[in-house]
Amino acid sequence: MTKMKQLKTMAFLAAAALAFAACGKGGETPEEPQPDEKPDEEETVQVDVVTPDQWVAVDELGRSMPDYQEAPAKPIDYKVLMFYWTWHDSRQLNYPSVVNISKVQREHPEAMNDYNHPVWGQELQPCFWGQPLFGYYRTTDKWVLRKHAELLADAGVDAVFFDCTNGDFIWEESTEALMETWAQAKRDGVKVPQISFMLAFGPTEGSLSALRKLYKNIYKNHVHDDLWFRINGRPVLMAYPNNLSDYGDDQIIKSMFEWRPGQPDYVNGGSGVTWGWLECYPQHEYNRGELMTVGVAQNARDESGGHCYAFNAPGAYGRSYTKAKGHDTSEGAYVKGLNFQEQWDRAIQYHPRHVFVTGWNEWIAGKQPNWPPDNPWKPFAFPDQYDWEHSRDIEPNAEWGDHGDNYYYQLAMNVRKYKGVSRPARLSAEKTVTIGAFEGWDKVSPDFKHYKGNTMHRSHPQHSKSGIIYTNKTGRNDFVDARVARDKDNIYFYIETAEDITPKSGEGWMRLFINIDRNVKTGWKGYDFCLNYKNPDSDDTGIISKCTGPEWKWEDAGTFTYAVKKNKMEIKVAKSALGVSGKLDFEFKWSDNMQEAGNILDFYVNGDVAPGGRFNFLYKE
């Protein structure tokens, strides 16, 4: 987010905030926590919606998702807000190819001191700090937008704020595509984040123009109003209403919104009802405990007093910086999330009603020859993103290998600690299933629901004008419902898809991965067994494959019985074949049409999985 216009005097910003505080709507004082109301211990909870906070996962650093025992549900409805960028659309695409700063560092180190080096492309061309997992995408790519909806929902993010802080750009093309995609995802069962907008850090002419466009294009006609983020029943805007007039639409705009003007500074905190978006540790509480910021990294340094500065300047507070210990210079420290965790720990300690996280998918920064204007970093500055260490996106990336989703799971783990975890459903009684009858599954609990509609195909241009078209046609069997039953000797699996299950052709058909011992150090990424690693030769018997890992190496280890009927599949596997004796306590995942064998990140990209990414369903007696 290049904020050349944000570098106004702090006196002006403080005055603007105070001017609004005198006439604006204040936030409500957070209600006092009430004692946790315990449900009837005999009650059986039948899960009938997708419940991501019940899923389990271990990231590449060995960090585990907290469960209900570690993070019980909180009595107050806390909210996690995420900074989100819709600006990867046609207004940013006036260049022939993508420039990746981290790649330039590795392949053309001489360019880091040469503003005019040809590798930088066109004048002021925005550059990516790294490659997103879904490629250098545009935010009009509905395939990507659907992926984002599910990833953010699964992590527990409640709302996103779009970056409209520059001029009067509101990125209409991307905003419309996102709202349409997320509205459909919501109909498909995804608890999509609600939406709002962050405008300029003061009552500027650009901010005024943007407010009027947002009202005309979205709010006046209640476009997708079920997606609007609200406080006190009113849609929220991080914007200044000071220069709106007292008549016509301006008067309606003034009264329609819950105003939370944004302030840019990383050090001084805010006043009145202002909200922050990024701060250096220790972060402030805004508006009497209503909000605290959490950032992945900060484009600031000691020499700037912690205030905004070039991210490529020495000493910048990157991903591996903490206030407590300074810069961790060990190799690969950027994947550990040290800065991020220090800020999360403070937010969880103070527990404001909202945590504002920066950020999801900014990805790009301009190469500025004279920035900041009052003290330019030479030979040029990258204000807001720079490289693997000096960047602040959480969205999984393609260049860190197995660590590419570390920050995503760190986000989800801390969201659970902050918001709590719902009470898990009870297991139904033992039951013997007759394979092929497809009867009685509606009485089996838990019901492991998953989203329908996420096997859509992709065909969309790359970020630049290169002519590259991103395509993905691997979406096939759309998992929507899974269940598990058991008796003395067997485990039974049920899976349901949105449409009829495809014929068993090609690799990767209707695979069931099982982590039988819940130990991520055994098997491939913890998966000890895979049913249908090899496609079955018959219509009733399949092969059990056992991982001889930790790499992607599998060997035959027995057989199982199965049946398929239209959009349903049943499996019967002997406990002895999985080495089970005693109580069941295992994790499992369904996968269809995997393309990159042995790549855990393939679970985000190709075919369909239930649940998403590294997440697994848990079945525990």
Task: Dump pLDDT digits (tens) for 569-578.
Answer: 999 999 999 9
Digit-coded pLDDT (tens) for 357-388: 999 999 999 999 999 999 999 999 999 999 99
Digit-coded pLDDT (tens) for 229-265: 999 999 999 999 999 999 999 999 999 999 999 999 9
The DSSP letter of residue 215 is I
**According to the model, what pLDDT value does residue 405 have?**
98
Assess whether pLDDT exceeds 80 at residue 31.
no
Assess whether pLDDT exceeds 60 at residue 278.
yes
**According to the model, what pLDDT value does residue 352 have?**
97
91: pLDDT confidence band, cut at 50, 70 and 90? confident
Given a contact cutoff of 8 angstroms between Cβ atoms, the answer to whether 366 and 350 are in contact is: no
Provide the whole-model pTM. Answer: 0.92
**According to the model, what pLDDT value does residue 452 have?**
97
Residue 336 and residue 89: Cα distance in Å, rounded?
A: 31
**According to the model, what pLDDT value does residue 505 have?**
83
Given a contact cutoff of 8 angstroms between Cβ atoms, the answer to whether 197 and 239 are in contact is: yes
* 3-class SS of residue 551: coil
**According to the model, what pLDDT value does residue 93 have?**
78
Nearest alpha-carbon partner for 155 in 55, 78, 64: 55
Phi/psi of residue 344, nearest 5 degrees: -60, -40
The per-residue pLDDT of the chain, averaged, comes to 92
Q: Is 429 exposed, middle or buried (0-12, 13-18, 19+ CB in 10 A)?
A: exposed
Nearest alpha-carbon partner for 491 in 357, 557, 585: 585
Assess whether pLDDT exceeds 70 at residue 437.
yes
Here the tokens at position 474 are 């691997």
**According to the model, what pLDDT value does residue 18 have?**
34
In angstroms, the Cα distances linking 285 to 18, 162, 232, 267, 291 are 17, 22, 19, 12, 6
Assess whether pLDDT exceeds 60 at residue 24.
no
**According to the model, what pLDDT value does residue 25 have?**
36
Mean pLDDT over residues 553-563, rounded? 97
Assess whether pLDDT exceeds 60 at residue 283.
yes
Assess whether pLDDT exceeds 60 at residue 567.
yes
Digit-coded pLDDT (tens) for 118-175: 999 888 889 999 999 999 999 999 999 999 999 999 999 999 999 999 999 999 999 9
**According to the model, what pLDDT value does residue 39 have?**
35
502: pLDDT confidence band, cut at 50, 70 and 90? very high
Mean pLDDT over residues 406-429, rounded? 96
Q: Which amino acid is at 257?
A: F
**According to the model, what pLDDT value does residue 48 have?**
53
Mean pLDDT over residues 438-442, rounded? 96
**According to the model, what pLDDT value does residue 506 have?**
81
Quote the strand ranges of 207-339, DSSP E. 230-231, 234-237, 258-259, 291-295, 321-322, 326-327
Assess whether pLDDT exceeds 80 at residue 306.
yes
Residues with Cβ within 8 Å of residue 599, at least 6 apart in sequence = none
Rg (C-alpha) for the chain, rounded Å, is 25
Q: Among residues of the chain, what percentage have pLDDT more than 90?
A: 88
